[in-house]
Amino acid sequence: QVQVVESGGGLVQAGGSLRLSCKASGLTFNNYAMGWFRQAPGKEREGVSCISWLGDSTYYADSVKGRFIISRDNVKNTLYLQMNSLKPEDTAMYYCAVKGRPYGFGCSPSPDDYHYWGQGTQVTVSS
């Protein structure tokens, strides 16, 4: 049974930093591209960042480019999202997800391409 568990969210002031972690089990972690998504109240879920199964290709939404860094540790089966220079508009529930199929080229920012999801971790940035 695949389990995806996020952690690391919290309340931070604007300009601060947080590091989100996502541990996936029940699958061969290093065979799958992984993604971070977020959803604010009243808004659709959006792709924030993703990383290929090899870790050699990444994607960042324009809104977070230059501030967020995605990485993966295939020994620990863990995905990370380092979030710096946080803004109030980054406030959302953040979700980690495993792509629906193993291997492949690059990664996808579309939630439709991901099959296993965590429960989310709340990030709140105060102004």
* The predicted structure's pLDDT at residue 104: 85
Tokens of 17: 């930093």
Q: Are 103 and 53 in contact (CB under 8 A)?
A: yes
* The predicted structure's pLDDT at residue 105: 87
For 33-91, write each residue's pLDDT tens digit.
999 999 999 999 999 999 999 999 999 999 999 999 999 999 999 999 999 999 999 99
Q: How far apart are CA 117 and CA 95, in angstroms?
A: 7
Average pLDDT, the chain: 96
Average pLDDT of 79-108? 95
Q: How confident is the model at residue 119 (pLDDT cuts 50, 70, 90)?
A: very high
